Structure 1
């Protein structure tokens, strides 16, 4: 049993007003003896909440990505008696990520989190990574900077996978994920990533033609932001998670499988060559992996309610319908191509999801648009000396091209 350290851990929370960030703040407020939040960052769309968080936690630094909101943020903080320093713009958020702390929780949504991920790693901080997109779009850059074990995965699936490997001393770490041996070890047969199936599980490709944003946002299990909820409906999110698993655990794509598990109790599994499988199970709550990422290598008592074993329950597993949900297969192709292809995949998807939410694009056309943009991509291949400008150029091209394709569809 691990005994919690006596001193609170200094934590920086990026994306503090989003789904991951608000839960992290709540965990910190509930365990002041464990955590001291020293910095917060958010986009700026929920300024009232950001100010409330900063005052409740008495943080010393607050960053807002929207530079136009910085002056107002400073004024509101001063009115509440807070002397917190205000940093502005994406560069301000990245600066905060490099400030002194024990752990940085990156809960920023989308590719915008990449610079903060890189800044955290350069500064030598432990990175609790909920922003999967930054690892996916900047894979070679992140892997070049990260020390073995410097990243604690917060995505529930990758948190689960990490739990299923035996912990080893820091000096023996070989993968990016904290505390785990590399997943290409000889006794590991494959990684199995579970998917809830989203709100349209069981529907055929033809039955998905006319679904609405309202229907797609009605996830049966998880309460998340709109982008990740739509990504879960298309299973694009699961495709991103396959690429993330490949990068975190250094396992080839042909040894990563997605299986549909509607109850979202088993979050992922590791299958070994002797026929045994280890699975991590917990109720569908992000509070467990968030708390674990903040407290690594300790656990936070009462982070979430456990499974109630006194009640009868059934867990089911079924194969993925690749015809109705082709995003996972496309992601495997993109991940195998490497280079700037994952950045193109992610950027085109973000544009297509935005168009769908605004009623400008049909649901099946989200993945169709991404596939078309990826097929036209001619960027830096795997093995090339990738730079941050290369990634940003690919991201920009993909967004422009996706916009053109969306406009043509009307």
Structure 2
């Protein structure tokens, strides 16, 4: 029995049974290590050794959380929510007009996309923007599974297809890992080939609007409030917020550091006076509290990834698959995509999946005679597969953090399962077609 498959299946089963994701990852890693022949001590040493890899990500999310809440204190989210509220009736009647829903969906989609490049705060905006508009969504009887899909699309597709913000980071990782594995390419080479798989995500989003178009009723319950600091909306603060966002972008893109970007943004808000220095401790505490769970999941996922890597069974999984491939290029590509899906489902991070699969897939791809563009598409698509649907992915944890603010949205049933089928199936199809086209 392959340890990678066992670890991932165990993690998924426990998550579906509503066991905490951090515990599910830990249990899956332990059982996977034992199946691979590692002792309990060796497994835990490997797990503990990998935790440090997730520390930077966890700190990044904490800083982003602080930056997001700092932005929220300038009144920007309130202005957005007010604009959304104007789209619906305030007399208690359900507003079901297509225009109102379309505008709400468009706002959420653009916010998710912008969070990856234009306003690089990633998922930190979700717990701030979504809870206040849950009652609006309830009035329109919108199925929250659709919102989860919209947010997941906006969080995943930009880094796959756009060479800005997180997309630049992802594509740089793809280029470096492919080069390290023996196929020399540059970061600029990644952009074009990944546009075709991104079309699969578009098809998935369209499918989501069809699948979850029927009205779904929710109770109007109280939601959790992210922060206790009072908000004052002033025009000058809106201008200062734009300056802070630009500062975050200018620092993050060349350095590739979310931590420095968030820090620059927060400092800019303080220097301009949009935020008071005495609020610093409260803001950072609120930001870390908001993102703490996701940070812990990412740390645990890094430990899981370390055990999976040290088990040596990723190579065995590929070797067993190559025996099935034979000389069939199309089948070989499909199997490698599915392996990427399995690995990413377990790790929960496309960025962390790339180094694991590139070193194995690139030599196989070269043996089958795949072109550089085809190899880029293979690695980029295989790395992105599973990001939608993984219980440990920030692309599912983020939407759940906002949509479950009133306790009516289940992480596995309402976010992970819908996004898994909606996006991964078309992504596999479009990715496979693109790879075969470029080969």
TM-score (norm 2): 0.25
**Going by fraction, where is strand more abundant, 1 or 2?**
1
**Going by fraction, where is helix more abundant, 1 or 2?**
2
Larger-gyration structure (1/2): 2
TM-score (norm 1): 0.26
